């Protein structure tokens, strides 16, 4: 799949920094499949078994066309060289499945951080990761290596708002995350559910989406209704007879709902539009300083 679709204008080689000559060889060389171990920081957790079998059949017929990228393993010795994968894990698994004894590789030096970055970029370019796997990898870059969202965005060729929006999905209730990872619901459904802060409400809406087959727009409307079901405070009860109708007491015009949905899709967060005779107001919700910065960057810059 074309990298441009994912906003990536850089290949793996652009992210591999120069290293000591002894650690690098630009030449393609054959190494035993058994001498290679998987990338311990591989962000992809789910592999399509049928797709892997098809790849194995192709490799059995034509061989491994594109070399794997590896780095010397910590336990590697001159007499018994060993390698860790940087990129090409699917090809490695498929080569084993096809019964190959050796595979073509290019050896590169890479730090643990670079191994995660490069594996992440390769998987994004090939559309091999679901959005939650991407989000977990972004969070690992932040927690393990202290990278900011802006630095991650520069490394993977995406804008900062995209990184922030992916990370927000990790705030979904575990059941909703599972449904998203298993493609039971779409990312659009998940973002609509995410406008609800209460995990119980998220799970309630998830069940409704699955049982009723709700569209994304219907899910957004259902989330709005659930979010508006807040108990009245004592003050509101005492003044309810004289106060003006609230959003809970009437349906919003379709045009206003459409505006809210457009704002939510653009900013990746809950947005409320309140209209009055002389104008109105827009309320943009954020749930962390990082999200506030992403919204600021999206609007101001």
What is the set of active-site residues?
A: 89
- In this structure, what are the phi and psi dihedrals at residue 82, rounded to the nearest 5 degrees? -130, 155
Distances (CA, A) of 49 to 90, 119, 256, 269: 10, 20, 45, 35
29 contacts 105 by C-beta, under 8 angstroms: yes
Query: How crowded is residue 257: how many other Cβ atoms within 10 Å of its Cβ?
Result: 16
All residues at 6 or more sequence positions from 298 whose CB lies less than 8 Å from its CB, including other chains:
161, 266, 267
What tokens appear for 62 in the block?
């034509």
Long-range contacts of 245-251 (CB under 8 A, 24+ apart): 247/272, 247/274
Taking each helix axis from N to C end, the angle separating 160-168 and 289-300, rounded to the nearest 10 degrees, works out to: 140
In the chain, the N- to C-terminal Cα span, in Å, equals 30
Q: Reduced to 3 states, what is the DSSP secondary structure of residue 157?
A: coil
Q: Where are the alpha helices (DSSP H) in 146-215?
A: 149-156, 160-168, 174-181, 187-194, 199-212
Instruction: Determine the number of helices (DSSP H) and then strands (DSSP E) in the chain.
Output: 13, 7
Tell me the three-class secondary structure of 70-98, residue by residue.
Answer: EEECCCCCCCCCCEEEEECHHHHHHHHHH
Q: Reduced to 3 states, what is the DSSP secondary structure of residue 108?
A: coil
């Amino acid at each position: 799949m074309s990298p441009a679709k994912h906003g990536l204008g850089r290949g793996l080689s652009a992210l591999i920094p120069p290293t000591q000559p002894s650690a690098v060889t630009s030449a393609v060389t054959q190494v035993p499949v058994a001498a290679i171990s998987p990338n311990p920081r591989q962000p992809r957790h789910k592999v399509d078994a049928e797709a892997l079998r098809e790849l194995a059949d192709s490799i059995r017929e034509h061989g491994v066309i594109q070399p794997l990228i590896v780095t010397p393993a910590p336990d590697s010795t001159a007499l018994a060289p060993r390698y860790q994968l940087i990129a090409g894990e699917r090809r490695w698994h498929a080569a084993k499945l096809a019964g190959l004894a050796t595979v073509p590789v290019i050896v590169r030096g890479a730090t643990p951080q670079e191994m995660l970055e490069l594996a992440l970029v390769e998987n994004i370019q090939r559309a091999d990761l679901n959005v939650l796997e991407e989000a977990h990898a972004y969070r690992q870059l932040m927690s393990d290596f202290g990278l900011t969202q802006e630095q991650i965005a520069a490394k993977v060729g995406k804008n900062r708002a995209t990184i922030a929006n992916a990370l927000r999905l990790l705030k979904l209730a575990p059941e909703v995350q599972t449904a998203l990872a298993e493609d039971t619901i779409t990312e659009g459904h998940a973002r609509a559910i995410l406008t609800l802060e209460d995990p119980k409400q998220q799970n309630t809406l998830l069940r409704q989406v699955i049982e009723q087959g709700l569209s994304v727009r219907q899910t957004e409307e259902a989330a709005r209704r659930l979010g508006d079901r807040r108990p009245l405070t004592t003050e509101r009860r005492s003044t309810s007879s004289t106060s003006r109708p609230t959003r809970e007491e009437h349906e919003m015009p379709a045009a206003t709902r459409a505006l809210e949905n457009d704002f939510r899709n653009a900013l990746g967060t809950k947005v409320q539009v309140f209209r009055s005779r002389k104008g109105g107001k827009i309320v943009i919700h954020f749930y962390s300083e990082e999200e506030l910065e992403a919204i600021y960057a999206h609007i101001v810059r």
